[in-house]
Amino acid sequence: MGRYSMDVLRGHTEAVRTVFLLASSKLIFTSGYDTVVRMWNMEDGLLIASSKPLGCTIRAVAADTRLLVAGGTDGFIHCWRAVEGMPHLFELRGSQHNQNTEVRLWGHDGPVTSLALDLTRIYSGSWDTTVRVWDRRSMKCTVVLRHSDWVWGLVPHDTTVASVSGSDVYVWDTNSGNLVIIVPYAHVGSAYALARSHTGDFIFTRGEDGSIHMYEIVHDSYTTEALHVATWNPHSGPVYSLAFEFPWLVSASSDGKLALIDVRKLLRTSKRALGKSATKAKHSGEVNVEPPQRMLHGFQNNLYSVDIGADRIICGGEEGVVRIWNFTEALEIERRVRALRGMRLEQRMRRRKLQTELSSTSICF
């Protein structure tokens, strides 16, 4: 973590509320109060295209190689389908030759705060207290999951979707629409967002109280439980955004700081080994865990959104700019150091084996 380069992307005229990194296509999508979705090249940081003004603040963006979606405070979801043969996938300003590349979905009665995609569905969360699941082929809403308060964030995995609403954490079965788990009062105040491991077994939440919690989802023959594994308090203000890519959990806060947390030790610990450190959705105090490995700071207050991937961290906030930290050089150095350590360990093992063989030969004589 010792070396990185940083780039600043300028183009938005007001605060950036959401950033999304599509690492497989080397694209970055950003939007916010200026109502425009912008697409950037991840490698050189150059602006590729901007959408027309969408008429309201955009609080959420998500994309894959076939679809780009943006959620507005007016309750709509604006969708761009990928254009075949276009090197940067999406024609953000629309095409006069193909009017089927854009569609707007209506259904929410309040601002759309969170979006996610999988191969067949679109997931949207809103201040109207619902999570809606949409079929990507028909663009119709198929499931409505009702909460008791504003929905701030969601992350799907397989046939479940985790969400945060009010101060609570939920896990839903998206096929049946049934609630699988609820963790009440996970945070003091609102739980603003969450992240999830790629296996779906671990959930990270962040909130208005400035804390970050980690839970393990445990299944047995009869029940599914959420075990509280760890808590971090690296920030002095509300934590607005989380992003996870193994092994790094990154948080962005109103205090103008990013926290980088290495969770590989906790992820490799089974629920049986957690012992007294894991409690059933109860916070009996902070579990002894390593503090954040690094804090990135020196910016204005209110960092609203963060994403991670391809050895990069992307962040946007009140300044109206997008910052990119590139850790490729640092990770390459780490890989070389690990390779050297492995070679030295192998050489030590060979020497010990040779010494053991020589000792055995001396004893025989």
| Residue ranges for the chain with pLDDT beneath 70 | 1-2, 95-99, 269-288, 298, 330-339, 360-365
CB 224, CB 180: distance < 8 Å? yes
Residue 95 has a pLDDT of: 61
What percentage of the chain has pLDDT greater than the value 90? 71
Q: Whole-angstrom Cα distance, residue 205 to residue 243? A: 10
Residue 280 has a pLDDT of: 57
What b/e readout covers 188-215, taking b as 16+ CB neighbours within 10 angstroms? eebbbbbbbbeebebbbbbbbbbbbbbb
278: nearest Cα among 353, 350, 215: 215
Q: Strand, coil or helix: what is 33?
A: coil
217: nearest Cα among 190, 264, 180: 180
| Assigned token pair, 69 | 């979606």
Residue 350 has a pLDDT of: 79
Give, as one character, the DSSP assignment of residue 287: -
Helix, strand, coil shares of the chain as percentages rounded to 5? Answer: 15, 45, 40
199: nearest Cα among 170, 219, 220, 169: 219
What is the per-residue pLDDT across 21-70, written as a single tens digit (0 to 9) for each?
999 999 999 999 999 999 999 999 999 999 999 999 999 999 999 999 99
Q: Whole-angstrom Cα distance, residue 44 to residue 42? A: 6
What is the per-residue pLDDT across 211-238, written as a single tens digit (0 to 9) for each?
999 999 998 777 889 999 999 999 999 9
What the chain holds in terms of domains, given with CATH numbers, is 5-339 (2.130.10.10)
Predicted model pTM: 0.86
The helix/strand count (H/E) of the chain reads as 3, 29
Q: Strand, coil or helix: what is 174?
A: coil
Residue 53 has a pLDDT of: 96
Residue 284 has a pLDDT of: 45
Residue 50 has a pLDDT of: 97
Residue 96 has a pLDDT of: 54
